[in-house]
Structure 1
């Protein structure tokens, strides 16, 4: 597991959580960018990307 992958995953998670409840297209776009960054970090660490619906708490 790389430090860079963990940082990307954490930063993506924070960005997604900060914007996922916004109604504007800009908020939804930023939330998607956060999901993409999180999944990029997960892939770098050899984990599968998250594919569940955001906010469900499902693994």
Structure 2
């Protein structure tokens, strides 16, 4: 695992969590940016991107 990939994944997770419950288009856009950043970090570390909907309770580590 790379530190850069882990940092991207963590930052994306935080951005997604802070914005996913917002109803405004801006909040939804920021949540999607967080998901994209999180997946970018996962791919850099050799993990599969998360494909399940947020909050579904499915784990795809």
Q: TM-score, normalised by structure 1?
A: 0.97
User: What is the distance in 2 between the residues matched to 1:16 and 1:57?
Assistant: 15
Consecutive unaligned residues in structure 1, runs of 5 or more: none
Q: How many residues align?
A: 59
Q: How does 1:16-35 map to 2 (within 5 A)?
A: 16-35=16-35
2:23 match: secondary structure = coil
Per the alignment, residue 2 of structure 2 pairs with: 2
Instruction: Give, in angstroms, the shift of residue 57 of structure 1.
Output: 2.3
What CA RMSD, in Å, does the superposition of the two structures yield over aligned residues? Answer: 0.5
Instruction: Give, in angstroms, the shift of residue 56 of structure 1.
Output: 1.6
1:40 match: secondary structure = helix
Per the alignment, residue 46 of structure 1 pairs with: 46
